[in-house]
Amino acid sequence: MLRRLMALLAMLVLCTALPVRAAAQQQCAQPRNLCADPQMCFMTQKAQDDWADAHNCTFITMQMLEAADPDGSSATHEAVLGYLNKFAREYAVNTPARMAHFLSQIGHESGFQATTESLSYSAKRMHQIFGCKGGPKNYSAAQDDCTKGRLRDKLWTQQSDYEHNAENLGNYVYANRNGNGDEASGDGYKYRGRGLIQLTGRTNYQGFQDRHNALNPDDQQSFIDHPELVADNTEYAVESAFYFWDAHGINATADTGTVKDVTEAVNGGTNGYDDRKKRYNAVACLLGATQET
């Protein structure tokens, strides 16, 4: 009995000492461009996949949205999926690189949610985001001041007017930019960031209105008079992101550039670069686009 027990113990030690096999490295897809409009509805996911395989193309899929936005909800992703495919075709976001860059940037910017910029910040936070020449990197939390000079001095000298006051802050920091009028015009807050890519500024809202109305003669809208539509209507929220992408020539950047290049085109800087690259690589693998190290 004792001999049998010792033998069993020896086997247990041997098994637990065996090296654990590493998980197989994910096999990335072969590159495929976006499918043209199939002019039909698919009853099942398999039917859609089979159609795409037969035509050697791909649709934007839930799996891609999960890769671009791993913390997002299925309900959020399902709400935008059809519109993403529709407008990706209309705005030629149709190659593996273009789709991977677009989806990963949107995943970072909004998590595919039709959001509105809140602009309600504490004093220190508004100083950091909007107060300093050269941007947030030149803000010292210890000193609650800028290391290379203030860009908007009133955030300190009239702090109580802007702290946790979204309307006042928006009108101040976005005044005389992107087609907005001065602080008193109210344009800054009215045309604050909305939609999947945070469309901002009167010029961008006007451009989106012009493009949408040119493409949709039966659905004429005034985003200048009703900018809230860009956040309240899911279709417009998605379309506005593609408009911004196209108007700023980001397809061309995505064709030959890096995540850093695309991030600068979208963000005006490199905020969140590491996260954007992580999301990009996850989507790029599914689309067969070149990943970055």
DSSP notation for 127-180: HHHHSBTT-GGGEETTTTEESS-BS-THHHHTHHHHTT-HHHHHHHHTTTSTT-
Residue 169 tokens read as 């802050």
Residue 46: Cβ within 10 Å count:
9
Nearest to 174 by CA among 186, 156, 158: 186
pLDDT of 226-259, one tens digit each? 999 999 999 999 999 999 999 999 999 999 999 9
CA distances from 140 to 25, 150, 155, 158 (A): 42, 11, 15, 19
> Helix 96-109 to helix 234-247 angle, to the nearest 10 degrees?
120
Domain residue spans in the chain? 45-114+251-287
Does residue 2 carry a pLDDT above 60? no
CA distance 155 to 166: 13
pLDDT of 184-217, one tens digit each? 999 999 999 999 999 999 999 999 999 999 999 9
